[in-house]
Amino acid sequence: MVMAIREVDWQHWHGEMPATLMFVVQEGKVLLIEKLRGIGKGKVNGPGGKIDPGETPEQCVVRECQEELHITPLDPVKMGELCFAMSDIPDIHCHVFMATRYEGVPTATEEAIPLWTDLDQIPYDRMWEDDRCWLAGMLAGRKFFGRFIFEGETMLWHELDWQAH
Ligand SMILES: Nc1[nH]c(=O)nc2c1ncn2[C@H]1C[C@H](O)[C@@H](COP(=O)(O)OP(=O)(O)OP(=O)(O)O)O1
């Protein structure tokens, strides 16, 4: 059976839930987490979360790394944006960052278990489906803008633009 993909008016789309993700990369490894609560609980992802009112994306991603892993990423670099039209939760507009330096020691908390992961061993089968579209390109240094339509946790459609050099 072919599932009809619902239409999304991307021109006027507005993600009700602004959010962030951080990928710290050092010595051929990326710092992922097993997420213990919130949206995507049980999945592997970067640390991150919802942007609080009055907070910038950069402030949010630093705070979330402090809360989830007890680290402070230094000099976060904005790498891309992800627009998720969801079916059963509010739409998410996610700002994605990378960093190569941080302060503190990655520590397991009630929210996350840190997982230093070889760049060629990313566990895509434990991650959100869209990560297969953009994560490797981003880790190679490319900036991006992506749009995705989800039905539950299934990705039905996507469109990804990579920034020209
Ligand atoms: N399709 C998707 N692919 C992806 O890679 N990350 C996604 C995603 N959909 C959501 N996320 C991430 C973005 C953000 O880091 C997180 C959503 O925020 P959370 O629920 O973790 O927020 P909070 O940590 O603020 O929540 P609370 O536990 O309620 O405080 O999930």
User: Closest residue (by CA) to atom 23 of ligand 1?
Assistant: 49
116 residue type, one letter:
W
Of residues 21 and 6, which shows the higher confidence score?
21
Whole-angstrom Cα distance, residue 19 to residue 95? 6
Q: How far apart are alpha carbons 70 and 78 in whole angstroms?
A: 21
Query: Is residue 84 lining ligand 1, measured as CB closer than 6 Å?
Result: yes
Please give the pLDDT value at position 1.
63
Ligand 1 atom closest to the Cα of residue 37 is 28
Q: Given the DSSP bridges, would you call strands 92-99 and 77-85 parallel, antiparallel or unpaired? A: antiparallel
Question: In terms of Cα–Cα distance, which of 149, 138, 125, 137 is closest to 43?
Answer: 125
Q: Provide the whole-model pTM.
A: 0.96
- Any ligand 1 atom below 6 A from CB of 92: yes
The pLDDT score that the predictor gives to residue 18 is: 98
Ligand 1 binding pocket includes 40 (Cβ within 6 Å): yes
Kindly list the structural domains of the chain, giving each domain's residue range(s) and its CATH number in brackets, ordered by start: 17-163 (3.90.79.10)
Confidence of residue 164 (pLDDT cuts 50, 70, 90): confident
- Closest residue CA from atom 28 of ligand 1: 38
